Chains A and B, each alone.
Chain A
């Protein structure tokens, strides 16, 4: 009964080769978030969607893009991964109006060679 699902759990890519991480949810939440978490650091918000409205954090590099084709799915695209983009990427969802809680997926660990 997984609620926030992330695939794959581990992703290896090459320097400069585009990569897409996926997130899906069964909670029907209207808000979806993407975080980047580097080793021994707190999660850092990259962007979030409120329904179809995209909200980018001011310091999120242009190299990171996102798509949300429907309520259930959200994708993180890294157009040209660098070595510094190796991290855990966490997806989270919240209902905003019903409950002020974010629910996290298990994360995708990205390795850039």
Chain B
């Protein structure tokens, strides 16, 4: 079984400040990890993903995340927040098709607000 915990349903940061959105997961097999962003009344857009290889992954819009197996974490960061980053962010885990389960399990989401 797999699960995702996103600490902080709401996060506010000042424009230009560091963005840190936390995600912890549990999985019985090596996980595939994803961050999606959702703007109001829109679908989910893939920000970045970790499947195998380098544990620090870079995504779109200046975001990056680091897979830390020992901490079962996949936190999302961005050095300098921009007003356009205001959105809902979802962390998700999959066991992958190799294990016959490519279904995504989502966290409950973190709403990011940027303070001008």
Contacts and interface: CB of A to CB of B under 8 A. Distances in A.
Interface of A: 4, 6, 31, 40-43, 45, 48, 88, 90, 92, 94, 96-97, 100-107, 109
Contacts of A92: 44
Interface in B8-48: 32, 34, 36, 41-46
Contacts of B45: 104
Interface of B: 32, 34, 36, 41-46, 49, 51, 90, 94, 96-97, 102-104, 106-109
A48 B103 contact: yes
B102 A94 contact: yes
A101 B109 contact: no
B15 to A, nearest CB: 24
B109 A42 contact: yes
Contact of B44 (A45, A90, A100): A90
Given A101-B46, A109-B41, 12 more contacts: A4-B43, A40-B109, A42-B108, A43-B90, A45-B103, A90-B44, A96-B97, A101-B34, A104-B44, A106-B42, A106-B43, A107-B43
B76 to A, nearest CB: 16
Contacts of A45: 103-104
B94 A41 contact: no
- Most-contacted residue by chain B among A94, A100, A106 (CB, 10 A): A100
Contacts of A48: 103
